[in-house]
Amino acid sequence: MANEPKPFPFPQQPEVSSFKMVAVMGSVGLIASILLVVTFQLTGPRIEANRRAYLESAVLTVLPGATRFQAFRPTEENALVLVEEGEKPALQFYAGYDGDDALIGIAIEAQGQGYADVVRILYGYNPSCACVVGLKVLESKETPGLGDKISRDPAFLSNFEALEVKMSADGLQIEQEVELVKSGAKTGPWQIEAITGATISSRAVTDIIRASTEALLPLIQQNLATLEAGS
Amino acid sequence: MTNDNLLKTPPTDMDTFLKGLWRENPVFVQVLGMCPVLAVTNTVVNSVVMGLATTFVLFTSAVFVSTFRKVIPKQVRIASYILIIATFVTVADYVIQAVSLEVHRSLGAYLSLIVVNCVILGRAEAFSSKNTIGKSVLDALGMGVGFTFALLCLGVVREVLGNGTFAGIQVLSDSFEPWIVMILPAGAFFVLGGWLFLFNWLSERKKQRQAVLA
């Protein structure tokens, strides 16, 4: 083989034993995995701290007046218990407290379909006024310049400073659901004014809040004492 | 093929670095790595981070590929290169997450997609696998800086026109109505087309001048 003339477009590869190929691939893989482990060890704590800081700032933004918060998760018997360190439940609430340990409100994460991909939001609910007190869009891929205004348009976000979500007297049902109206047509505290040119994204946020409040507020109402007591 | 021709006349070290910036710019001349070029250049910050991450991966994979170029058998070289590149992309991914989650979110999947950016595999195959470590590093840095420069060219135009800001700072007055199309995917094609036009026009003019002089 080695002495034959080399055919032009494909130069003859020197013969290499399979063992060598496997050995080289194995060593490259070994070096790669060592590098990855080292990187993961070095950056892991920082990434975790970043995530926590992001969550903390988001929770404190949607609950104005809160200075600290605690995570709770629902149990199978519809009670709420504190989330232990390292636990990662599918659904959790963040109860925010002020300096005197009084309950300010509950931050709830919710998501739903937007115009492009899923929109994830965090909103704050204040049980004493039965209203939404803050909204932050955690993740969205809405159209830049149009739909993505849901995360920064001040007029739109002001809808969520005191958005009424009235409960029935027994605390099991929503009496007045949130509702989307055209820009400038807001008449009641349960209405959300849409952004002109971003109706679908505005409706997505409204639908997410409606569905989430419907599903979770009764649970929160029943366990208000647990949340108020804190830890 | 241009690379092979160039290698016949061994270029100087400075030339190895500089060719990536202009004469063989990976974006404007070789038109490689179009996916990140079009997708993440909607803001200046995204462009810079993407450029730096790509430069880092180019640099580190060049060091590895050229170090082991005599050990890695030809038959498994692509698999080995991809493994090396993927490792450093993951390293870059973790580092960016540790520095800023916000930036990591806005780059989204494109960060992991550096693995399949043909600039990197292209340089590994065409240059690092045949040259010494020193030269490969120079080549990788040149290509990386050229790539970052090209991303910035697009990012600056798109953010200023599409949002009226430069790296988040307002530069155009409020009376300026942003050209939203510029931060949408279509804007990427417009701006890339404009830059390619400019670069081709410049190189054509240079060729004509040289022809006149000769």
Query: Read out DSSP for B42-77?
Result: TSHHHHHHHHHHHHHHHHHHHHHHHHTTTTS-GGGH
Q: State the pLDDT at residue A13.
A: 66
| ipTM of model | 0.77
C-alpha distance from residue A122 to each of A205, B11, B75 (Å): 11, 57, 52
Q: Please tell me whether residue B10 adopts helix, strand or coil conformation.
A: coil
What would the mean pLDDT of A154-160 be, rounded to a whole number?
89
The answer to whether the CB atoms of A145 and B98 lie below 8 A apart is no
Its domain, for residue B87, covers 2-213
pLDDT of residue A12: 62
Higher pLDDT, B10 or A89: A89
Residue A68 confidence class, pLDDT cut points 50, 70, 90? confident
Q: Are B130 and B7 in contact (CB under 8 A)?
A: yes
Nearest CA in chain B to A17: B73
What number of C-beta contacts closer than 8 Å exist between A and B? 72
* Residue B192 CA neighbour count, 13 Å, CB half: 22
Q: What residue of B is the nearest CA neighbor of A38?
A: B91
Are B76 and A46 inside 8 Å of each other by CB?
Answer: no
pLDDT at B176: 82
- Is residue A50 within 8 angstroms of chain B, CB to CB? yes
* Chain A: residue whose CA lies nearest to B164: A145
Please tell me the predicted confidence (pLDDT) of residue A1. 47
pLDDT for residue A73: 85
Of A25, A51, A145, the CB nearest to B183: A145
Cα A91 vs. chain centroid, distance in angstroms? 11
Could you report the per-residue pLDDT of A31-56, keeping only the tens digit for each?
Answer: 999 999 999 999 999 998 998 888 88
Chain B residues touching residue A51 (CB < 8 angstroms): 101
A:82-141 residues touching chain B, CB 8 A cutoff: 139
Which residues of A are less than 8 Å from B164 in CB distance?
none
* Amino acid making up residue B42: N
Sign of CA dihedral B13, B26, B168, A140: negative
Touching A: B residues 76-115, CB under 8 Å: 76, 79-80, 83-84, 86-88, 90-91, 94-95, 97-98, 100-102, 105
pLDDT of residue B141: 93
- Compute the nearest-CA separation of A39 from chain B (Å): 6
Q: What is the pLDDT of residue A37?
A: 95
Give the SS3 label for residue A104: strand
In the predicted model, what is the mean pLDDT of residues A146-150?
A: 83
Q: Report yes or no on whether pTM surpasses 0.90.
A: no
Residue pair B19/B147 in contact (Cβ under 8 Å)? The answer is no
Of A8-22, A198-212, B157-171, give the lowest mean pLDDT range.
Answer: A8-22
Instruction: Check if the beta carbon of residue B92 is closer than 8 Å to that of residue B114.
Output: yes
A176 touches chain B (CB under 8 A): no
Domains in chain B: how many in total? 1
In angstroms, what separates the C-alpha of A33 from chain B's closest C-alpha?
A: 8
CA-to-CA dists, residue A173 to A76, A146, B4, angstroms: 20, 34, 74
pLDDT tens profile A158-196: 888 888 888 877 777 787 888 888 888 888 888 888 988
In order along its 214 residues, chain B shows pLDDT tens digits of 445 544 445 556 788 888 888 888 888 888 888 888 888 888 898 899 999 999 999 999 999 999 999 888 888 889 999 999 999 999 999 999 998 888 888 787 788 888 888 889 989 998 999 889 999 999 999 999 999 999 999 999 999 998 888 887 888 877 888 888 888 888 999 999 999 999 889 888 988 998 888 7
**Mean pLDDT, rounded, for A70-93:** 79
Task: Give yes or no for B61 touching A (CB within 8 A).
Answer: no
